[in-house]
Amino acid sequence: MVRVAPNATCGIAVALLILVAGSGCRLIPRSGPVPQEVADARRLCNEGLSAADRKDLMRAEGLLEQAVKNCPTDVDARRHYADVLWQRGERMAAVTQIAEALRLSPGDTSLCIDGGRMYMELGLLDDADRLAREAVRVAPRSDKSWRLHGQVALARGKPEEALADFHRALAIAPDDRDLILDTAEIYRRLGRPKRALATLAILGESYSPNQTPPQVLALEGMAQEALDRPDDAIESYRQAVARGLQSPDITTRLAELEQAAADGRTPQAIAKSPTDISRQ
C-alpha cells in the first residue's frame, strides 16, 4: 500500500474540496470522508471566526494560527488569520499571511483587494498598486477592484486618475455610500467644492433625518468654507463634532471660525486641509 505524507494528504484534500465547493473552512462539504487534518483545521477556523465575532481577538488569533499550522494550504484560514493579526496591530505578520495566501491562490480578487489595502496603509504603494492592477485585471466588473485602484492613485498624488476610477466603480455600484464619499472628497481636493457639495447632497438623501454620519458633515463644512460660506461651515462642523467625529483638524478649525465670527472678522483661509476626512 502506498502511504501519503500528512502534508500531502492535506494539500490534495483541500485542492479537491476547492474544486467542488470553493475555498475556505466554511465551504468544506459536509458529505464524504474528510481527512483529520482538514477536519481539525475547519473546526479551529470556525472557532476562531466565532471568537473574532465576539471581539476576543487574542483567542481568535491563537485558534486561526493553529488552523493554519494544521493545514497550511487552506487559503481562507490564512485570510482570516491575516485579518485578525491586522486588527491586533501585527501588521507585517498579517501581510505575510496574505502574501502566502496569494501564492497559494494567485489571482484571487478578494485577496488582492485585502492585500492591496494593507500595503497602502503601510505606505508600500508600489506593492499596493501591483495588487490593485491585478484585481482590476482579474475582475474588471468589480467596484471594489476599481475603488482600490482609485485609492492607490490618490495616495500616489494622482487625484484625476483616482476620480476616473471612482466613476468606474460608481457605474457598477451607484449606491455605495463609501464610494460616493470618496468621490466627494476627490472633488474637494481638486478645488471643485460645488461638485463636492452636490455629491454629498446625493449621499445625504440616503440617510434618515439626523442620521447623516459625522464624516459627511465635516466634508460638507470644508466644501462650504471653500465657497466662502463660514456660517454654513460652522453649523456643519458643529454637527459633525456633536455626532462623535474625532478629528483635531476639524475641532481646531471650528474654534477658529467661531472666534472669527465672535470678533466680527473674516476667517483666514485654511492653511492645511484636514487629511483624508473620509477615513476618520
User: Which tens digit of pLDDT belongs to each residue from 218-262?
Assistant: 999 999 999 999 999 999 999 999 999 999 999 999 999 999 999
Name the residue ranges covered by the structural domains of the chain. 1-94, 202-280
pLDDT of residue 93: 96
Confidence of residue 91 (pLDDT cuts 50, 70, 90): very high
Whether 97 and 115 have beta carbons less than 8 Å apart is answered as: no
Cell numbers for 59: 483567542
Q: d(Cα 61, Cα 55) in Å, to the nearest integer?
A: 11
Secondary structure of residue 122 in the 3-state scheme = coil
**Weakest mean pLDDT among 33-37, 116-120, 135-139:** 33-37
Determine if the pTM surpasses 0.85: no
- Residue closest to 45 by CA, chosen among 74, 22, 7, 73: 74
- Does 214 score more than 50 pLDDT? yes
State pLDDT tens for residues 128-168. Answer: 999 999 999 999 999 999 999 999 999 999 999 999 999 99
C-alpha–C-alpha distance, residues 277 and 280, integer Å: 5
CB within 8 A of 73, min separation 6: which ones? Answer: 10, 11, 14, 15, 104
Q: What is the per-residue pLDDT for 39?
A: 83
